[in-house]
């Protein structure tokens, strides 16, 4: 049989005797490599079933002992990880609702789901903008999930407040590009257009730069002063 295999490999694949022997030597390893994922999956399924049985037995034992479970007895799983917890504003009736623009990184942490990192990110973005003029701007904060944004309005009111505006006719390109709504290229075009056509009188003058979309001009308008 071995001779027939060698003959077939030589006739159809052009293998030499040495190459044929090497190929036959590799077949068992190739077979194991192909079968390994399936074998591994079988063991993982078996392990998961055994874990589930042990877990259920532990639950039954605790319940039979009249132990009230508020979390999983196993640290590897916590039901709260898969449950959305809604905040209860009734617990905070004694709190004074303030505008989001007046909040600092400490007061923001009263909102469930907001820690020091996210709170700091919100304040940093507010300062970079120069204040929020629309509640939807909160959704622009990097990493802030929609459900957290919704939770914020359970604790804070919104009043438009822009505490720092851009003197568009008296600013350098590098300073304008520091604002989140302006890239360096956009700042360069805006100032180049001013140098060619004179000072801007209103936000409508920016519409003369045809490469800018009207929506973007409307977005940056509240931050400009002429």
What is the C-alpha to C-alpha distance for residues 86 and 109, in angstroms, rounded to an integer?
A: 15
Give the CB-side neighbour count of residue 78, counting CA atoms within 13 A. Answer: 4
Higher pLDDT, 200 or 63: 200
* Closest C-alpha to 112, from 65, 149, 142: 149
pLDDT at 181: 97
The answer to whether 59 touches 69, Cβ cutoff 8 Å, is yes
User: Hey, what's the torsion of the CAs at 217, 214, 193, 221, to 10 degrees?
Assistant: -20
pTM of the model: 0.59
The pLDDT-based confidence of 100 (bands split at 50, 70, 90) is very high
The model's pLDDT over 83-98, given as tens digits with 9 standing for 90+, comes to 344 545 455 667 888 9
pLDDT at 20: 62
Residue 157 three-state SS: strand
Q: What is the mean pLDDT of the chain?
A: 81
Give residue for tokens 């639950």. 59
The model's pLDDT over 128-177, given as tens digits with 9 standing for 90+, comes to 999 999 999 999 999 999 999 999 999 999 999 999 999 999 999 999 99
pLDDT at 46: 74
Beta strands of 5-112 (E only): which ranges?
Answer: 98-99
The model's pLDDT over 52-86, given as tens digits with 9 standing for 90+, comes to 677 666 666 655 555 555 455 554 444 433 334 45
Q: Indicate left, alpha or beta for 114 from its phi (over 0: left) and psi (-120 to 50: alpha).
A: beta
pLDDT at 42: 81
The answer to whether 117 touches 148, Cβ cutoff 8 Å, is no
Please say whether the dihedral angle defined by the alpha carbons of residues 98, 104, 109 and 114, taken in this order, is positive or negative. positive
């Amino acid at each position: 049989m071995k001779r027939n295999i060698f003959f077939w490999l030589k006739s159809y694949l052009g293998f030499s005797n040495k190459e044929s022997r090497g190929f036959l030597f590799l077949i068992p390893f190739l077979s194991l490599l192909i079968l390994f994922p399936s074998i591994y999956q079988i063991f993982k399924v078996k392990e998961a079933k055994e874990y589930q049985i042990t877990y259920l037995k532990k639950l039954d034992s605790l319940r039979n002992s009249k132990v009230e479970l508020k979390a999983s007895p196993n640290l590897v799983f916590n039901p709260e990880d898969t449950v959305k917890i809604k905040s209860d504003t009734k617990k905070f009736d004694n709190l004074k609702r303030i505008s989001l623009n007046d909040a600092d990184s400490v007061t923001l942490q009263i909102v469930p789901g907001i820690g020091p990192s996210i709170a700091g990110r919100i304040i940093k973005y507010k300062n970079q903008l120069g204040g929020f003029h629309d509640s939807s701007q909160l959704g622009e904060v990097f990493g802030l999930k929609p459900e957290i944004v919704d939770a914020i309005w359970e604790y804070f009111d919104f009043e438009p407040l822009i505490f720092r505006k851009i003197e568009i006719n008296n600013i350098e390109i590098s300073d304008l590009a520091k604002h989140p709504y302006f890239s360096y290229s956009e700042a360069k075009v805006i100032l180049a257009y001013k140098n060619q056509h004179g000072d801007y009188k209103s936000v409508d003058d920016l519409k003369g730069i045809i490469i800018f979309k009207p929506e973007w001009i409307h977005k940056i308008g509240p931050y400009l002063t002429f």
